[in-house]
Amino acid sequence: MIDETPERLRSLHSRLLGLAAMHSDRVVNEALAGAGARKWHYAVLATLAEFGAASQAQLSDRTGIYRSDIVAVVNELAAAGQVERSPNPGDRRQNIITITTTGRRQLSRLDRLLRAAQDEVLEPLTRPERDELGRLLRKLVSGRSA
């Protein structure tokens, strides 16, 4: 099993990051697809569960999803009965998004699926290595992440 990848590419941190992220994303998306969700749905549900009801603009800030893309996500979650979208009487520009009981149930299902996916991706690493990887990545993106 010879490695046919040229040296210049093999030693490129940006390439390694891309490959690792792609693989991780694939595993995660496949897992979430088992519950009819994508990572955006998880991000919104988790944010609602932890911070409580919020406007779409707040959801955008907290998840890093663009506010134009939040629309479709909330549409889909609402269609599945996992959130409710109601106008804010105090500020009629805003919608208030609330997580429902169905949404909480879905969230714990996604939590479970995600944990398994995470374990699958990190399987080649020992516990301390996983922690170290997390630390390094956090350091790498600290400041500019959302």
Partner DNA sequence: CCCTAATCGTTGGTAACACTAACGATAGGT
Partner DNA sequence: ACCTATCGTTAGTGTTACCAACGATTAGGG
Under the rule (CB under 7 A), what is the footprint of DNA?
A: 18, 22, 25-26, 29, 38-40, 55-57, 60, 65-71, 74, 85, 91-95
- At residue 26, the 3 state secondary structure works out as helix
Q: Which is nearer to DNA, 85 or 109 (CB)?
A: 85
Residue indicated by tokens 């992440």: 145
Q: Which pair of tokens denotes residue 11?
A: 């030693």
Q: Which pair of tokens denotes residue 138?
A: 């956090």
Q: Which residues pair with 98 in a beta bridge?
A: 84
* Identity of residue 39: K
Q: Which is nearer to DNA, 49 or 96 (CB)?
A: 96
Among DNA, its own copies, none, partner that 38 touches (CB below 5 to 8 angstroms by kind): DNA
Q: Which runs of E-coded beta strand occur in 65-111? A: 83-87, 95-99
Residues of this chain that bind its own copies (CB under 8 A): 4-9, 11-25, 27-28, 39, 43, 46-47, 49-51, 61-64, 111, 114, 117-118, 121-122, 124-125, 129-130, 132-134, 136-142, 144-146
